[in-house]
Structure 1
């Protein structure tokens, strides 16, 4: 990431031109070839939505190779996340890409939008998208540039200070509360340029409140009173109530670029290799589903070399493995290219199932969110199974009969301890967060669930303990050294074992 802060706002949005199908009025973008005087704000908004969940660079490196392997969704013989080794390029990928692309795009758009009633809904949606991105960033690294980020263009701040995570979280909650309230169905939006909800303001309001639920619950140990306050507020304001509310971003199969799936496209084109891939499902993940006869396994996994998706044939790779047992990579489970690893597979950014699991945990804690913990848990499991229909019909969907059998065999532990109930809830959330390794990593650190067995590899950086964060983009040592040093002086060494503020 070179000169990321200087670049923010300092160039016209040439990247928007790559989005060929969103707005045909690109000729209106410039009336002067050297000055952006009439930006195509709808196209800018669409591109911001695409960038929110990252592109190939951060998803291949930070998500697939680090976070998703740390939480043992996936495994690789030499993967930095499996063995807790340090790769500067991979570890810093989310940091560099987020400031250089996603946040750049959102803040560029906010800088050209006049604060008028006509633009109000677009502004509120941008505030919500900023929270999605900033929460992922701060949860991954800890302290980050926040209040001064993106002020190179209109504030001449090219070396922004890092802010404490407590201050960032306080502002994230404020932003969601205000933005959700300010959204107004009687005001214009962006029509079909909104890829998430096609300008359905009611669902955007639910997104603001559901994201508030996620942000607030992250504070459950470091500030339980504030966590409860905002969880209850979010629930009262109205959160997701069905899978139709989930944030699902659709993709194209090709050509490779901004509109393809940032996780599956690089995996299928470069890494899958007919079943010879180095990244496989983790033994932890496959065993968890096999041992419970989970009907989702046939949808999630198959042996790519043979096309066999029968649950009995699935086999995961242990995260501490130094070789493939038996020497044949093709005998180990790959993500299913007929469903979740399709080139045009949609991205599930925030799901109704996740919301139900947060409400279930809140109910276990005795917080006022409406409904019982058991009902929220069961609705969450059902939603997590039903949402898989977004990946197509080449594999049979989970039937109501299968769901009922699963819940009957593994009912909610109503008579268990609070810890046992939360462990059961987070175990289900861990499954639904497949391909969202960053969020699963955060939830593992917050709760300690699922109970993962650490890897103690000779080349690891953590002496056999599961990492607590990723290391910053090391270009910060050159471009923002003083503020970087101040951050690590407050937070602790820039290593994988340093705990961030809410990780208690």
Structure 2
């Protein structure tokens, strides 16, 4: 062994070599989840290929659970290794060590949050330790405890990145090494997760206080994404390895899911300037088909998603500026901060404008859209009506953002979706996915304990932060 060991190099891969691969693989996997799961559940598209196992009908097979679970946990190993190997790999350079440790913690929080928001209680504190600690059957931890620890990770990341240096652009396909942008992403993600837990009374004191600190009382210490340029998007260049995974789909495969009536009709009704960026016309018209149709009554397919999306640089979204502004709009509408922090209307207008301009439309087009009485903010509305207005815009802003639109719908019930006659699962939006069969088979005792505590392993059991079904 000694003869084959280079005394001048680390036996572990440096974080800069792990980072780009892990980010690219995670975003690629997320885009698959968006296309086949989120878009179908949230009535962006309707799959008309076969009659059974249709996700849009809430008819979800156990096999759907395998890929996201396995892929997310696989990438966590690389993100965790970034944190562990940074001190050895960059010994003597504290700021560079802080950079990779901080980015690692943000990416871990991002991935773990997607896993727990998809399944509920999951292996967390002892996950991904098989290679180092010999733990191959990790305990499933409670979602509440997971969330509280995610908050701590993001606090640590913010502190680390406040004293850090930029990294090599080649190691970072999201921000090209700009560490200040990573810090803003971490705090913006923090705000997303705080809001997700904000209806749970048992943590509201902490959540509300931290939201006020980030948004109002100590915001200089918690910088947030503040422009479209700072959005966390792995912008596909078309050059390997940064070619969108959608480009491998044939035209027939891309056009197989048809645009849903809910998505199309509201874009038309509000005269949304982004409609041509997202949809292809059918016989000269934008026309969707209803989601949740009855088995055996498959409608004729009409509009599809625009072919330009196959290679769009914007589909690799992690978290964008528009989402952050609409998070702030909800916080202000619910009066979780004082008006001195900003008004719901100003945040709402900024979020809508950010979404429209991100997709290549002009700020004047955004202004015209916001002048539409059906779109414009109205302080006289009830809180529920304001939430509907905010979350319809967030629904559009979250297009191609992993499972976020589905998670936000489960949290709030907005935007209100029509219920087709063919829906299964008692017409209840799935609250989670089944635990995958592989996890059940390889970790049966801990799986059984998780089900005993959380509730039946079905599509209606609430995860911790959910307060009701929709």
Q: TM-score, normalised by structure 2?
A: 0.88
1:348 is aligned, of 292, 313, 317, to 317
2-structure distance, mates of 1:382, 1:31: 56
Report 1:55-454 matches (<5 A).
55=29, 59-60=31-32, 62-77=33-48, 78=51, 80-100=54-74, 102-114=75-87, 116=91, 117=94, 118-184=96-162, 187=165, 189-223=167-201, 224-235=204-215, 236=219, 237-253=222-238, 259-262=242-245, 264-268=246-250, 271-272=253-254, 277-303=255-281, 313-321=285-293, 322-323=296-297, 325=299, 327=300, 329=301, 332-338=302-308, 340-342=309-311, 346-368=315-337, 370-389=341-360, 398-409=361-372, 410-436=375-401, 438-454=403-419
Three-state SS of the structure 2 residue aligned to 1:495 is coil
What residue in structure 2 maps to residue 18 of structure 1? none
Q: Is the 8 A contact 2:279 2:304 kept in 1?
A: yes
Q: Contact 2:31–2:402 at 8 Å: present in 1 too?
A: no
Matched, 1:476 2:448: no
- Provide structure 2 residue ranges, at least 5 long, that are not aligned to the other structure: none
Shift of 1:227: 2.7
Kindly state the Cα deviation for residue 423 of structure 1 after the two structures are TM-superposed: 1.2
Q: Deviations over 1:78-101 (max 9, x none)?
A: 46321111222223321111112x
Q: CA RMSD in A?
A: 2.3
Give distance in 2, aligned partners of 1:464 and 1:188: 49
Listed one character per residue, the Cα deviations across residues 208-266 of structure 1 (whole Å, up to 9, x for unaligned) are 110111010001211433332222233222211111110010224366xx53324x235
Note the C-alpha offset of 1:381.
0.3
Q: Which residue of 1 aligns with 2:422?
A: 457
Task: Tell me if structure 1 keeps the 8 A contact 2:15–2:81.
Answer: no
Deviation by residue 1:290-312 (Cα, 9 ceiling, x = unmatched): 11111110111114x88x6xxxx
Equivalent of residue 46 in structure 1, options 3, 20, 25:
20
Aligned-pair CA distance for 1:175: 0.7
Structure ranking higher in helix proportion: 2
**How many Å separate the matches in 2 of 1:136 and 1:74?**
21
Secondary structure in structure 2 of the residue aligned to 1:404:
helix
Q: CA deviation at 1:401?
A: 2.9
Is residue 212–residue 230 contact of structure 1 (8 Å, CA) maintained in 2? no
1:162 and 1:487 in contact (8 A); partners too: yes
SS in structure 1 opposite 2:318?
A: strand
Q: Please give the alpha-carbon distance, in whole angstroms, between the structure 2 residues aligned to 1:405 and 1:46.
A: 40
The Cα of 1:367 is off from its aligned counterpart by 1.9
The alignment partner of 2:462 has SS state of coil
Q: Does 1:489 align with 2:452?
A: yes
Paired with 1:342 and 1:54, the residues of 2 have a C-alpha distance of: 13
SS at match of 1:75: strand
For the residues of structure 2 that align with 1:157 and 1:367, how far apart are their CA atoms?
A: 42
1:163 and 1:137 mapped to 2: Cα distance? 12
**Structure 1: tracts of 5 or more residues without a match:** 1-29, 390-397
SS in 2 for 1:294: coil
1:280-326 CA distance string (max 9 Å, x none):
221111111111111110111114x88x6xxxx1111211235554x
Q: Deviations over 1:171-223 (max 9, x none)?
A: 11111111112114554633431122222222111111101110100012114
Number of positions where the alignment pairs a residue of Structure 1 with one of Structure 2: 441
Structure 1 residue 40, shift from structure 2 partner: 4.1
